[in-house]
Structure 1
Amino acid sequence: MLSYILQAIVLGRFAKTASVEGDTWTHSTFQWGPCDPTIVENPSISCSFFDIPLDYHDRSAGTGRIAVAKVHATAQRFGTLFINPGGPGESGLAALDRLGSTASGLAGGHCDIVSWDPRGVGPLTIPGDIQCFNSDEEYNTFWNGTIELTGIEMTGNFTNPEDIEALLSQAPIMQKKYEELGERCLRQPSGRYLKYVGTAATVRDMVAMADVLDGPTAPLNFAGLSYGTVLGAWFINMFPERVGRVVLDGVVDPTFLATEETSSFFPKQLVDADKVYDALVTACALSGPEGCAAATQGQTPADVDANVQTLLQRAHDAARKNSSVPITSADIRKQLFAAVYSPAEWASFVNVSYPEVVATVDAESSDNAGVRGALRARKRQVNDSKTYGGLAIACGDSVDRRGTKMINVFNDIISSSRARSHLFTSVWPNVFNYCPFWPVRAVERYQGPFDKKLANKVLVLSNTYDPVTPLADARALSKLLGDYGALIQLDGFGHTTSEPSQCLYEIVSVYFANGTLPEGNSTICEVDADYEVFAGVNTAAILAALPSLSARSAFSR
């Protein structure tokens, strides 16, 4: 606790202390000032603290504090726009710092843009980072010899009997480890806060901030990405009368998340993931070796895919012979998964990261023991311990435990690798796979309904091909919204609508200006033609080449 107080003193801005009188909560005010420069570097951003009750329904639980950042409106101020960058577990302060002063353009400069580190996130919010290990050594010792550090080794669509046996043999080990992890987290100083970490409490924190910044009856404006759409869906249904301008981009189906175990959630989300990978290798083939180092002259998309699959197989085989190799097929799939999130990163991945991976796998297959040893040492150094705030949020929101065993989780991974995404279902660890074994649920969870009548209409955004929040989820939410929302589909790739589109920009701008949405429940926008993923290759060209490939979903199946 002392460290949080010291960091707050360094930040230099405490909010006025909140007080509890009977059942009446007096919220703190904001005292904006300079931000902690280790978190927010942009000097134009102001920061403050905001005091909160740990439990809005039991004030005797005590108080906490959230760290908040703001970009000031650049035009006539009409209110505040709250943003959540996703996760769960991403820092809102760091996200606002990345956006910089351009953030005010999200609402035409007419809103202060406010983001915050939610409960369970960051070193300044209380409850902040959820710590379960005291050192890197403790973390590595606890997970040593498990897939938590090595990932899951497999190739193809998980039909190799040796791969299946290797995974299933870890089921009792990993179940015990995950159960022990929960107990370990509870014993840490941050453990007492676990039941107060979750989306419902974060919704109430946001509404409480809006009460102070704009007034207790003012419409609340919100933009949420990815997990932020869960926060948004809960907000508009917990406080339908407070809905102002709300944009949800990269949508998670709230009904599924509220009713099903999270271990079944992740495989469901990957229904379009391999199609985005198809798009990446298609773009690479269209560009050729001049723009994409993963291709050689005259190669088709299927040829580029074969290059990747051969690399995965070689890394897999090397790891089977020596578990200490520096790069495994599991590592490569993680890198691929990160790459498909953003088309803007595809060129960097194939021209910088991919050649490095190829060189490393080549070294694994050679007799150069010195190179292998150096690479192994480098790999060991990156196994740092981590915080578990995202896990605490996801599992705090999850349905009650239903007796699911790790063997069930593993069998779902194997079957989904064949039915949905052969490349990415086996990516491990995954925050959602902890929840069947997590010992704590949040003291408040919102589990529906998700079709409330709203004070204002909501704008829902989705790419045609999103690797982790599929278009189907956006359509599900749009159906729940009915006349209170509209879906805008950007005909492109990646997680959230990051590719530039004048069509989309105009729709969002008009919506923020006057609340107007396009006619009908669904509109399709194109990515701007001058935006090139690789030199000479735009999104329209990739889409034109993709249909002949989509029937196979991913080439190697």
Structure 2
Amino acid sequence: MQASSSSIQWVSCDPSVVSNPALSCGFFDVPLDYHDPAAGRGRLAVIKANATGPRRGTVFFNPGGPGGSGLEALDADAAVLGGLTGGVYDIVSWDPRGVGALTVPGEIFCFGSAEEHDAFFNGTIELTGVEYTGSFTDPADVHALFSQTKVLQHKYEEVGRKCLEGPSGRYLKYVGAAATVRDMIALADALDGEGAEMNYVGVSYGTLLGSWFVNMFPDRVGRVILDGVVDPVSFATEQISLNAANFLLKDADKVYEAFITGCLLSGTTGCPIAANASSPEEVNQNVQALLRAAHDAARRDPSVAVSSSVIRSLLYTQMESPEGWSQLANVTYPQLVQAVAQEVSESTFLPSRFGRPRNPLRSRSSASETGVSYTSQAIWCGDSVDRASTTMLNIFDDLVAGTRRVSHLFGGLWPTAFYSCPFWPVRSVERYRGPFNRTLANKILVASNLLDPATPIAGAQRVAGLLGENATLVTQNAFGHTTLSEPSTCVSTIMMTYMLTGKLPEGPVVCEVDGGFELFEGVNTSDILARLSGPDV
């Protein structure tokens, strides 16, 4: 496939933004509204890694988020993506609408500074997170949460007004997945020729873009990989703010079970959290003891550096990346123990091997030096179901229920962007609501880990099921977010073969993780899977 003359002038990337000198950068003009030329124009910051072999076209890549920077992602992962696609495609990514400082509309800011944001939310869970033990088993924790119902709803409504009245306000209705899909199509027309088949790799939230793309433009579907799949039907039909645990966290506690199981198998030399433990349950008791101590310290002084909310957020982030589990256990966890011990001024609850605190973690800030981005809110909420009569009371009710029924450990995480959606002031000018079972020009690959803490396998199963013969589902017997979280020669071979030849295996495929990849010293994925409990594995 020969590329047509491109409307992008490719030049060297700004080294302050992109470190890989082999990549090229440029800008691409787009209409703000593809159905209303009078709305004006925007531009996308675009980045490209050239094919290393005979060029067959372009593969477009979106790293998810929503709000992830394509420039940063390709800068970091050009070699991985080049290998995955066989080296015969240019790989192009971009900062979508609402992302970064170079795309227009760019990053969404609703406050003049981080300090203004923090002052506005002072005294609320927006800065401190939610403190609870167990699965909200202490009525005092429930009362503390619900005591913020009215003030937080008022502040979320006021933030919506600030965003609409601020410098990004006029762009909010033009930020969303449908416009981004149309931007991709325009890029494909410019780079590979008018009407050419479009090749796409999307991970995490990028799979929602992918689901919209293949169903909005089924005749343009080339070779498409969706990995770590967001359920597009649930997103199109349900309020994500009232379905967060089921939507995203269904398998999160099971991944945590894998973590503590691997920890026990490695023993205290490979995982200090297993001190004095003879079962995964006893490893969990060590973690829960730390969470309770941090919770109690935060209840006495909400300004402590390491609250239970901080620890839960850190644990959840690490559940997405099993390659860091050993680092978490051997480096980060002892630091957390020391920090919390200093906060409570005694360490009787702690495994004695950690000793007295020396280097507590630095206090986190809810805001960066450059401000507080509302891009995730703008994208999630602009595309979500219509604003309804949902209140903060409804959201808190659902959060507690999700913590009790779906994810004890992570169901109470706060803040999260989609909790803003009932109070967000606008919706995108175009939103796709289905169908999601169109007949595609080419068959696509849908991939998922068996246990993914952020995009449960049910999303991939649903997308593949709706597409039927138009998709092949590849399940990797692994933990973490997307199949890239653990190495599998089986998965990578299927993906590369597909990108090079268009051929996919018949029917669903299950792949194993490479046996040499250890999550803890002497412990690999199959060791853990063999010992996990329950029907899910």
| TM-score for the superposition, normalised by structure 1 | 0.91
1:88 corresponds to which of 52, 66, 71? 66
CA distance in structure 2 between the aligned counterparts of 1:409 and 1:171, rounded to whole angstroms: 9
1:295 corresponds to which of 249, 274, 279? 274
Report what 1:182 is aligned to: 160
Q: 3-state SS of the aligned residue for 1:294? A: helix
Report what 1:125 is aligned to: 103
Is 1:453 aligned to 2:447, yes or no?
Answer: no
- Distance 1:190-1:260 versus aligned 2 partners, 3 A rule: same
Name the amino acid aligned to 1:437: F
Report what 1:402 is aligned to: 388
2:265 corresponds to which of 266, 278, 286? 286
Per-residue deviation at 1:257?
0.2
Say whether the 8 Å CA contact 1:68–1:114 is kept in structure 2. Answer: yes
Deviation sequence 1:64-98 (CA, Å, 0-9, x none) = 00000000000010000000001000101000011
1:543 corresponds to which of 514, 526, 529? 529
Per-residue deviation at 1:535?
1.7
Report what 1:97 is aligned to: 75
Percent of aligned positions with the same letter in both sequences?
55
Is 1:171 aligned to 2:157, yes or no?
Answer: no
CA distance in structure 1 between the aligned counterparts of 2:493 and 2:525, rounded to whole angstroms: 19
Listed as ranges, the gaps of 5+ residues in structure 2 are: 348-355
Name the amino acid aligned to 1:493: F
- Distance 1:42-1:295 versus aligned 2 partners, 3 A rule: same
2:374 corresponds to which of 388, 397, 400? 388
Report what 1:221 is aligned to: 199
Name the amino acid aligned to 1:342: S
Name the amino acid aligned to 1:258: A
1:90-489 correspondence runs (5 A) = 90-268=68-246, 269-296=248-275, 299-366=278-345, 378-379=362-363, 383-384=367-368, 385-489=371-475
2:512 corresponds to which of 518, 522, 526? 526
CA distance in structure 2 between the aligned counterparts of 1:454 and 1:552, rounded to whole angstroms: 31
Q: 3-state SS of the aligned residue for 2:94? A: strand
2:480 corresponds to which of 494, 505, 515? 494
- Distance 1:28-1:139 versus aligned 2 partners, 3 A rule: farther
Report what 1:62 is aligned to: 40
Deviation sequence 1:53-73 (CA, Å, 0-9, x none) = 000000000000000000000
Name the amino acid aligned to 1:346: W
- Distance 1:329-1:401 versus aligned 2 partners, 3 A rule: same
Per-residue deviation at 1:300?
2.2
CA distance in structure 1 between the aligned counterparts of 2:360 and 2:325, rounded to whole angstroms: 25
CA distance in structure 2 between the aligned counterparts of 1:347 and 1:216, rounded to whole angstroms: 49
Q: Point out the more displaced range, 511-520 or 210-219.
A: 511-520
CA distance in structure 2 between the aligned counterparts of 1:73 and 1:37, rounded to whole angstroms: 21
Q: 3-state SS of the aligned residue for 2:200? A: strand
CA distance in structure 1 between the aligned counterparts of 2:360 and 2:84, rounded to whole angstroms: 44
Deviation sequence 1:408-437 (CA, Å, 0-9, x none) = 000001111111001111110111111011
CA distance in structure 2 between the aligned counterparts of 1:103 and 1:479, rounded to whole angstroms: 27
Listed as ranges, the gaps of 5+ residues in structure 1 are: 1-26
- Distance 1:67-1:536 versus aligned 2 partners, 3 A rule: same
Deviation sequence 1:441-478 (CA, Å, 0-9, x none) = 00000011111111000100001101111111111111
CA distance in structure 2 between the aligned counterparts of 1:382 and 1:226, rounded to whole angstroms: 23
Q: 3-state SS of the aligned residue for 2:274? A: coil
1:508 corresponds to which of 476, 495, 498? 495
Report what 1:50 is aligned to: 28
State the Cα RMSD in Å: 1.9
2:55 corresponds to which of 62, 66, 77? 77
Say whether the 8 Å CA contact 2:242–2:394 is kept in structure 1. Answer: no
Report what 1:8 is aligned to: none
Name the amino acid aligned to 1:458: I
Say whether the 8 Å CA contact 1:487–1:523 is kept in structure 2. Answer: yes
Name the amino acid aligned to 2:274: A
Tell me the matched-pair count. 520
Say whether the 8 Å CA contact 1:87–1:227 is kept in structure 2. Answer: yes
| TM-score for the superposition, normalised by structure 2 | 0.94
Name the amino acid aligned to 1:513: L
Say whether the 8 Å CA contact 1:119–1:125 is kept in structure 2. Answer: yes
Per-residue deviation at 1:192?
0.8
Name the amino acid aligned to 1:64: G
Report what 2:352 is aligned to: none
Per-residue deviation at 1:320?
1.2
